[in-house]
Amino acid sequence: MAYEFRLPDIGEGMAEGEIVRWLVKQGDVLTQDQPMVEIMTDKATVEIATPRAGRVLQCCFKEGERCPVGEVLVIIDTASDASRTPGPAAPTPLPTPLPAPVAHAPTPRPETVLATPAVRKLAREMDVALTGVRGTGPGGQITADDVRTAKVSAGLVAPTPRPTVTGDVRIPFRGVRRKIAEHMLRTQREVAQFTYMEEVDATELVELRSKAEARLSSHDVRLSYLPFFIRATVDALKKQPQLNSYLDEKAGEIVQRHEYNIGLAAQTPEGLMVPVIRHADKRSLLELAREVERLATAARTGRVSPSDLGGSTFTITSLGALGGLSATPIINYPEVAILAVHKIAKRPAVVDDRIVIREIMNVSLSVDHRMVDGHDAAMFVAEIKASLETPGLLFLESR
């Protein structure tokens, strides 16, 4: 009999999911709990497995298309004889959304394909079926080199990205990249944004961080500048609560948040994401350092979990040594502000009427002018500047 598998709500009130990659095709025989498809929600990309064994009759949406929650995602023949042997496909051929070329001849799919999101993305771009790739990583995990080796062995040219006759390269606009674009456009559409910039003398911060990192070496944690920026931001938000808020347009109210959940804009193999340090106001500098390191590692390896995403009340973006001099960061809607911290570099400065070399950095604050005025933005940045220029106070325990 035909079983219609409908897309479940796999997020908090999600309305639809984007089909990132089909892991099966029409005619494939499935075992129960076998991964079928990768779906992107607002928070993360997840694998969905089949709750029943059987043969795939139809994949109802193509890669890159969006499936509303509750709509039929895939139709499976669950008749007893359908799940024993592959056999022929249904009498009336149905369209399949998968690309025709594959790296290897189809083989029975194991229960789990071990591969990071970055490797899965590479496999999609090279049109390599991970089910036919032998993993050489720990525990049989498929690495990027395994995918490239499989492609070379197959002697196929990857269709995406694909060069045109003029030498241009076409890359599918979907997945995380399209989700980022939609989010940025919504911000530009909904928010009256302006940016305020200021210079910070970080000389004492550089010295303190160097000493603190040496002291913390026994705790097996790397102390970057981000924990200091987070602490300074939280202290400023307590004094300027308007910047830790959002606009409830239906109710006609500005909601000032009682929690301080700081999002950290991070580049990941899947694209830009914003993992969140929750209850940042209740964490010591050491605890902030550990959480920053955990999230940074997860972002680098493509292992950011859905529980690490969403729910931020204020966002900080930093490119570290690549941070440049200034920027106009785009607000992480529905928040009302975002802080960009730029690189620290030696520059000439005037101190006590003398020109000296100091460690200088800039900060850029973008705010929603509907709720935050220029004076509020200037006061907020002044609080952060004062904290970073006298960083010893930031070591005090959370209040």
* Catalytic annotation, residues: 369, 373
Non-local (6+) Cβ contacts of 247 within 8 A are 253, 254, 255, 334, 336, 368, 370, 371
d(CA 174, CA 161): 13
d(CA 201, CA 103): 55
Element (H, E) at 163: strand 162-163
Q: Is 345 helix (H, G, I), strand (E, B) or coil?
A: strand
DSSP state of 297: H
The two three-digit tokens of residue 21, written as one number: 């990659």
d(CA 382, CA 387): 9
CB atoms within 10 A of CB 28: 23
Q: Identity (one letter) of the amino acid at 211?
A: K
Non-local (6+) Cβ contacts of 385 within 8 A are 198, 200, 363
What letters, b where the CB count within 10 A reaches 16 and e where it falls short, cover 246-271? bbeeeeeeeeebeebbbbbbbebbbe
The two three-digit tokens of residue 337, written as one number: 């502000």
- E-assigned strands of 218-331? 245-248, 253-256, 262-268, 271-273, 276-277, 314-318
CB atoms within 10 A of CB 224: 17
